[in-house]
Structure 1
Amino acid sequence: MVWDVPSSTDRTLTRRIGTTLAAIVLVDLLVAGLLAALLVPWLAPLGTAAAALGVSLPPAVRWLAVLVPGVTVLAAAQLWYARRRLLASVDATPATEASHPDLLARVRRLATLADLCPPAVAIVDSDTPNSFTVGGLTGSTLVVTTGLLAELDGDLLDAVLAHELAHVANRDAAVLTLATFLPALVEDRTALVRPRTATGVATWLGCLVVGYPLAAAVVDAPLFSAAYAARYVALVFACLLLGGIVVGILAVPATVLAGRLARDREFAADRAGALLTGDPASLALALERLDGHDRPSTDARRSEALAHLCLLPQEFGSDTENEGFTLDVRTHPSTGRRIERLRSLTAELEG
């Protein structure tokens, strides 16, 4: 299946996506580097141990020894955690052959056309017609609301499902999860910042226990004295405070870049999904119908990470209210612009 036939507009969009991704990676690396610098007090024992073995480790090597594994673990943990959290936050339940045979058949058929392994499918009981795809370290889950299934059927439903499968093929969910990592930290929404489970608390306590003897290189006091304990607590507090300031400052450009990336990837998924079905007009009609749907009358809570992933920026229930840092950034292009591009694609295919 050929997903796309690039035009000059699409090549420009591809360059924009590449440039935005590069900028996000640069910001993330800068944050990781600055946070790793805060760990310098704990790196001294590495140099001492290496010297005892007759090996000389330059400071840069010791720094990288913490930075590289740390970034890798954080990225993997964020992907694993975000998928579980987002599905739980909207109370998504798996679709089965008994409950939704037609929906599963549509997803399988379109995935076969796209040469994709069919993703898992889940249903959210919500009147808001919407959809999104969550990706992680292994596999993806395509989520639709009961409101979407009530509002669309036939070619229009196929068009929306094809759009979501384009996100699966492009690994957009995983990319956007990593792109929104810094804003998520500042919003205090992850277990890394505020542990809300026994495992999270145990992880924090483990880090404090391991760090206690390692801080001896910079804490000038007997290891098990009250003075050492007090200075160790002060050192940890200072690192957390400075780290929070660094992340908070750099989360602003990261949030803006993530919004731009999300908007561009919606355009790309619109085109790829329309080419998959060969019917851009159906996706345009589906977007037009859904965009005009009445918003929920209640003040629905929302997840910023989920907002980047949805077909349309309509809210539906989340288990967490916005806390701390917030920055209002558009996560989707206007529906009018998306429809205009799809109609241009229709003319291109017919011409």
Structure 2
Amino acid sequence: MRHTGLKLRMLFVGTILFAFYAAIAGVALAMFGTGIWPIVAVGTLLFVGFQYKFGKWAALRSVGAEDLPEEQYPEIHRMVERLSDDMGIEKPKLKMARMGAPNAFATGRRGAGVVVVGVELMQVLDRDELEGVIAHELAHIRNRDVVTMVLGQSIAAIVGIAVQWGVILAGDNDFADFILGWIAGMVSQMLVMIFVLAISRYREYVADADAREHVGSGEPLARALEKIQSGNERVEDTRIDDSTAALCIFDSEKGLLRSLFATHPPVEKRIERLRN
């Protein structure tokens, strides 16, 4: 069975997220009656759909992504076609962007995926290193990582909003209740996101392993990560915002609190795994 560890983790975290969602839905039903159930169900689907569509659009727009011309970059297009065929997915759209630092990311789902390659990345990586990075991004699309993360983030947001308004409605609706509700909602959302982000970090390891499998070695991607890390450390500012950084192959944010809410594992550990 492929990625047994990931599937077990997804089952565990999925159960927890479903429990959070079921608890919030149960409270809503108790407060407003069973007639609200269709509204809860439809509202959830619309909210998740909006998060997915808007997130995809915002990520591409934030870096100014443009189509990667096939006539200028035929080798990259052939590389993606070969890797996509090997992974059993449709070739995603290829875009390029000036991000201010070497990086790349994938968004979308199978059949509607997009891979964005930074111009800076193409300038610093050798061909086999770029192949490792692209294989990593294609693995995210094949494994439905973006859809999974959007679903998890949406449930966290729904829980936070529900707790916030639950606290407000349970009080006297004065200013103190609004402040207390906002704090309670933020804390609730952060607690749910801890589980979601733990899965996100593991998914990076899985995408690295998939890239190693389809490229034939982990060394090219390991060298690419070293160059990407070095390139990002020399840059003070990029066009990559926090939400888009969560999609990228490399996230440069560090710190104790950040490590708890990180979307990526430490790059040193990823390189070590790839070389082992």
Aligned equivalents of 2:42, 2:235: Cα separation in 1: 46
**Matching residue within 278, 302, 311 for 2:249:** 311
Q: Which residue of 1 aligns with 2:167?
A: none
RMSD after superposition:
3.3
Aligned-pair identity (%): 28
CA shift, 1:103, in A, is 1.8
Query: What are the equivalent positions in structure 2 for 1:16-55 lying under 5 Å apart?
Result: 16-31=9-24, 34=27, 36=28, 40=32
**Structure 2 residue corresponding to 1:130, chosen from 103, 108, 111:** 103
AA of the residue aligned to 1:277: V
Secondary structure class of the residue paired with 1:122: strand
Displacement after TM superposition at 1:173 (Å): 1.1
Structure 1 residue 94, shift from structure 2 partner = 1.4
Work out which of the two has the higher radius of gyration on C-alpha atoms and give 1 or 2: 1
Structure 1 CA distance, aligned partners of 2:25 and 2:72? 45
CA contact (8 A) 1:123 1:143 kept: yes
Which of 194, 197, 208 does residue 270 from structure 1 map onto? Answer: 208
Shift in Å, 1:296: 5.2
Cα distance per residue 1:251-278 (max 9 Å; x no partner) = 1112212221110000111111111112
Deviation at 1:28, TM superposition (A): 4.0
1:17·1:265 contact (CA, 8 Å) conserved in 2? no
Counterpart CA distance in 2 for 1:304 and 1:186 is: 21
Contact residue 63 and residue 240 of structure 2 kept, 8 A: no
- SS class of match (2:246): helix
Q: Which residue of 197, 221, 227 maps to 1:283? A: 221
Q: Is the 8 A contact 1:140 1:168 kept in 2?
A: yes
1:206-236, Cα deviation, whole Å (9 max, x unpaired): xxxxxxxxxxxxxxxxxxxxxxxxxxxx99x
Query: Which consecutive unaligned segments of at least 5 residues does structure 1 have?
Result: 41-58, 189-233, 316-326, 345-351
Match of 2:47 among 69, 74, 88: 74
State the partner residue of 1:181: 154
The aligned counterpart of 2:193 is 255
TM-score, scaled to structure 1: 0.64
> Is residue 170 of structure 1 aligned with residue 143 of structure 2?
yes
State the Cα deviation string for residues 33-76 of structure 1 (Å, max 9, x = none): 55x45983xxxxxxxxxxxxxxxxxx32x131221111111111
Q: Where does residue 230 of structure 2 map in the other structure?
A: 292
**Per the alignment, do residues 69 and 111 of structure 1 end up closer, same or farther by CA in structure 2, a change over 3 Å counting?**
same
Q: How many aligned residue pairs are there? A: 260
What is the distance in 2 between the residues matched to 1:127 and 1:78?
Answer: 26
Q: Is the 8 A contact 1:183 1:251 kept in 2?
A: yes
Q: Partner residue of 1:145?
A: 118
TM-score of the pair, normalised by structure 2: 0.80
The answer to whether the Cα contact below 8 Å between 1:266 and 1:333 also exists between their aligned partners in 2 is yes
Residue matched to 1:159: 132
Other-structure match for 2:273: 341
Partner of 2:169: none
2:52–2:150 Cα contact (<8 Å) kept: yes
Which residue type is aligned with residue 93 of structure 2?
Answer: A
Contact map agreement 1:120 1:140 (CA 8 A) in 2: yes
Residue aligned with 1:97, SS? coil
Q: 1:32 to 1:286 in 2, by over 3 A?
A: farther
Q: Kindly report which structure 2 residues correspond to 1:180-219, keeping only aligned pairs within 5 A, or say none.
A: 180-181=153-154
Runs of 5+ unmatched residues, structure 2: 162-171
Distance 1:81 1:38, change over 3 A: farther
Distance 1:95 1:39 in 2: 52
Q: 1:121 is paired with a residue of what secondary structure? A: strand
Distance change >3 Å, CA 28–CA 124, structure 1 → 2: farther
Q: Closer, same or farther in 2 for the Cα pair 1:31/1:103, shift >3 Å?
A: farther
Task: Note the C-alpha offset of 1:138.
Answer: 6.0
